[in-house]
Amino acid sequence: MIPWLTLFGFTLNVAGPGKHLKPLLTVGKYYERDGKRLLPLAIQVHHAVGDGYHVSIIVEKLQRSIIEWGR
């Protein structure tokens, strides 16, 4: 979490190629635009364990959870 920073991209370079296989999720400070609250999210996944399809599943589940929580 980086709640004091509204981010539009974030990259974390982890030492040792192939040794860090867990996905990295970084969430920034939410902001409002056009009457909606937006929460910046950066996801970094090692391609050996996941690709865009897998990231889309994470994002979809997270979005559904946030929507349900806000009701």
Q: Which amino acids are annotated catalytic?
A: 47
Three-state DSSP at 41 gives: strand
Residue 55 backbone dihedrals phi, psi, to 5 degrees: -65, -40
Q: How many CB atoms lie within 10 A of CB 60?
A: 10
